[in-house]
């Protein structure tokens, strides 16, 4: 009934919690049991893997379920919440549903009733058949949804992102979810090919090999007009495959230049998928570290016991200009050289002292939190500065000045 779903249970009562965990696991769910708001906030904001639903008691030892739900909604779109409430808390539960909660059950209740409500709630949320693609942040989940939508049609996708943001992963996921998944997935890296036109149309060229599959052009801004001409000719002759394209943010220069490269994109009727950098998705940098850690750690003669909280904090605060590739390289080196038993911040950032990475001034902490919050609000407002300023309760001028201070560029929203 619940096989493949990950459920977070926020319940402080040992008897009730143990009963629910046992029954949910019997139904096939993976359960994360949290007893306090302070623990639940971190676990739900930065989960190790996507959480499909939350079962939450209204009354908790360090606050209320309403407080937990409201604080999560301030910075992201939380998973669907199913609240458990006593008779006196029904009005509160109804108020929460009006604020966006999914459902509630009142005590005392039968477990089958709760399971039925939970199943109905999960039925409205498509279950992922594949693991999370880019992370667990709201931005990563939005990209995942867009990838599913693009995979369902046959339009070209223009995937835009900086180095190490996972553009190739997005292209492959579109192929895996599409009706063309049984046909070849052929990549041409235009940034590395000395003669792209030969790679495309020479003997055993990509245009012939792909058949009805997917041709993925990486580094599109590097494509020459002769190669573009070959693709345009192939399209006119009834090219049976699908084309996916990726590039960095230099696509703006390509648009300004116009010419055949833009003519090809117009003919392909592209859908844009923009991947924000890891510096805008700090929770995904921690998620990626935990995803990469087990196989790397297994190769050690004496595996580490785990990752320290300070190392997680350091990874969250690091800008990762090289994206996931930089994180992978640092993690591999850190695991190889770490004295153990836990991976520490000084292992990840050996060029600094550990206290320089993990201990920052109050002013720096405030600036980092302010920057993250501005980025999140701008994302929710699709880059509209006026609307974001109203939500932040500051003037447009103040918001613009802070964006300049923190290096937040409007065209990256």
Domain with CATH 3.40.50.2300 in the chain: 6-123
Contacts for 275 with CB less than 8 Å, ≥ 6 apart = 134, 143, 159, 160, 161, 162, 165, 166, 167, 170
Domain with CATH 1.10.8.60 in the chain: 279-358
**Average pLDDT of the chain to the nearest whole number:** 84
At 128 the pLDDT is 45
Judge: domain 6-123, CATH 3.40.630.30. Answer: no
- What six digits make up the tokens of 150? 């693009």
CATH of domain 362-412: 1.10.10
Q: Tens digits of per-residue pLDDT, 195-246? A: 887 888 877 889 989 999 999 999 888 888 888 888 999 999 999 999 999 9
Task: Give the fold, CATH level 3, of 279-358.
Answer: Helicase, Ruva Protein; domain 3 (1.10.8)
Q: Model pTM?
A: 0.60
More confident position, 329 or 194: 329
In angstroms, the CA 55 to CA 67 distance is: 14
Tell me: pLDDT of 90 over 70.
no
Contacts for 31 with CB less than 8 Å, ≥ 6 apart = 6, 7, 8, 9, 20, 21, 24, 25
Chain CA centroid to CA 391, Å: 24
Strand order in the sheet with 185-189: 185-189, 214-218, 242-247, 157-161, 271-275
Mean pLDDT lowest for which of 83-97, 198-212, 259-273, 380-394?
Answer: 83-97
At 130 the pLDDT is 53
Mean pLDDT lowest for which of 87-91, 296-300, 309-313, 368-372?
Answer: 87-91
Strands of 315-410 (E only): list them. 342-343
Task: Give the fold, CATH level 3, of 138-275.
Answer: Rossmann fold (3.40.50)
At 212 the pLDDT is 92
Average pLDDT of 116-124?
79
At 127 the pLDDT is 44
Domain with CATH 3.40.50.300 in the chain: 138-275
Q: Tens digits of per-residue pLDDT, 360-404? A: 677 777 888 888 788 878 877 777 888 888 888 888 888 888 887
Buried b (16+ CB within 10 A) or exposed e, 6-16: bbbbbbeeeee
Q: Tens digits of per-residue pLDDT, 98-110? A: 777 888 888 888 8
In angstroms, the CA 196 to CA 174 distance is: 23
């Amino acid at each position: 009934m619940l096989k493949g779903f990950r459920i977070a249970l926020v319940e402080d009562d040992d008897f009730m919690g143990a009963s629910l965990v046992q029954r949910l696991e019997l139904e096939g769910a993976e359960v994360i049991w949290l007893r306090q708001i302070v623990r639940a906030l971190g676990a739900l904001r930065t989960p190790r893997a996507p959480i499909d639903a939350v079962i939450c008691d209204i009354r908790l030892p360090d606050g209320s379920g309403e407080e937990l739900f409201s604080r999560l909604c301030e910075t992201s779109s939380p998973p669907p919440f199913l609240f458990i409430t006593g008779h006196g808390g029904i009005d509160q539960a109804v108020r929460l549903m009006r604020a966006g909660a999914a459902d509630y059950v009142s005590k005392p209740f039968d477990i089958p009733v709760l399971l039925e409500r939970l199943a109905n709630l999960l039925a409205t949320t498509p279950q992922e058949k594949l693991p999370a693609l880019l992370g667990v942040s709201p931005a990563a989940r939005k990209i995942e949804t867009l990838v599913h939508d693009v995979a369902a049609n046959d339009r070209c996708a223009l995937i835009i992102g900086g180095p190490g943001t996972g553009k190739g992963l997005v292209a492959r996921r579109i192929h895996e979810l599409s009706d063309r998944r049984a046909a070849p997935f052929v990549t041409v890296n235009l940034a590395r090919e000395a003669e792209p036109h030969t790679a495309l149309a020479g003997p055993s060229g990509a245009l012939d090999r792909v058949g009805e599959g997917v041709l993925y052009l990486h580094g599109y801004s590097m494509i020459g007009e002769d190669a573009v001409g070959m693709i345009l000719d192939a399209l006119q002759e009834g090219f049976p495959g699908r084309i996916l394209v990726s590039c960095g943010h230099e696509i703006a220069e390509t648009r300004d230049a116009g010419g055949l490269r833009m003519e090809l994109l117009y003919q392909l009727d592209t859908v844009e998928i923009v991947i924000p950098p890891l510096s805008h998705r700090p929770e995904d940098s921690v998620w990626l570290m935990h995803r990469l850690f087990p196989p790397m750690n297994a190769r050690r003669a004496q595996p580490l016991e785990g990752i320290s909280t300070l190392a997680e904090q350091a990874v969250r605060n690091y800008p990762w200009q090289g994206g996931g590739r930089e994180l992978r390289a640092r993690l591999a080196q850190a695991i190889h050289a770490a004295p153990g038993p836990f991976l520490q911040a000084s292992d990840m950032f050996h060029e600094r002292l550990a206290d320089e990475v993990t201990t920052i001034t109050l002013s720096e902490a405030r600036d980092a939190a302010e920057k993250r919050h501005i980025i999140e609000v701008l994302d929710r407002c699709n880059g509209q500065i006026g609307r974001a300023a109203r939500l932040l309760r500051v003037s447009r001028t103040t918001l613009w000045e802070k964006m300049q201070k923190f290096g937040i560029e409007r065209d990256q929203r």
